[in-house]
Amino acid sequence: NSIYKHIKASVSNRKRLLAVLIDPDKMAVNHVASFIFKLNASKATHIFVGGSTVNGSITEDIVKEIKEHTQLPVVLFPGDTNQITNKADGILFLSLISGRNSEYLIGKHVKAVSELRGTELEVIPTGYLLINGGNETAVERVTETKPLDQSNVQCIVDTAKAGELLGKQLIYLEAGSGAKEHVALDVINQVKKELNVPLIVGGGIRTKLQLENVYESGADLVVIGTAFEEDESFFEDLKK
Ligand code: 1GP
């Protein structure tokens, strides 16, 4: 369990972690090398691979290609069981605890076991909360669950804490890929105060200032996808 150990150690040492999200649907295999070249020169510490609507085996091809070009841990962030490949290093085993769709709470997980059996993937139990970022995102559409309202801070805090008490090793506050607004700083702050496990925040973070604010508010690991998809020069702002 070296990925999780490293995250825990980084939290203790107050080291900020940054995951770049690669959506296999939006990245051609022949573009991976040049993308990873820029990523390697940046402050990124992890590469997450996944998406809400990826089909078939393209995840495996993308992961193989990523692994050719980097030493960073590659962690699956799957929208569905067909995105599981043993070519990655680990997997966020996400339970969508903000919603009440049993498929995304436990159903897909049961189906995933036959895919996971026999792989060496480090499985990291993760409580996943969808928070309203001001627009309907793919997570909401695909999972058919409503996001939690940003103004209902107590509900978000209690949901996150319930996840921890259920044994989730990470809590992920997700505004959804391409969210108009990222998770509010106050929400991040209140959740962080209650949690003893590392906190991941993602969705709608597009600038260096937003990234800084999200860390200051208590995020241990931040996930950014869209900003790099739209403009790879963002890597320049985040040089090592
Ligand atoms: C989405 O949290 C991630 O699952 C990243 O979101 O694409 O908006 O950066 P963005």
Taking only Cα atoms into account, the Rg of the chain, rounded to an integer number of angstroms, comes to 16
- Check which CATH number belongs to the domain holding 96 and give it: 3.20.20.390
- What's the total number of domains in the chain? 1
ipTM: 0.98
- List the structure tokens of 169: 């090793």
Question: Per-residue pLDDT tens for 176-221?
Answer: 999 999 999 999 999 999 999 999 999 999 999 999 999 999 999 9
Mutate to test the pocket of ligand 1, among 201, 224, 230, 238 (most ligand atoms within 8 A of CB): 224
Cβ–ligand 1 distance for 78 under 6 Å, the answer: no
The whole-number pLDDT of residue 186 equals 98
- Give start and end residues of each alpha helix (H) in 146-207: 153-165, 185-194
The span from the CA of 237 to the CA of 38, in Å, is: 11
Question: Per-residue pLDDT tens for 38-62?
Answer: 999 999 999 999 998 887 789 999 9
Residue spans of the chain under pLDDT 50: none
Mutate to test the pocket of ligand 1, among 173, 174, 230 (most ligand atoms within 8 A of CB): 174
Q: Provide the residue range defining the domain that includes 189.
A: 2-237
b/e sequence 5-15, b meaning 16+ C-beta within 10 Å = eebbebbeeee
The span from the CA of 122 to the CA of 117, in Å, is: 12
DSSP state of 29: G
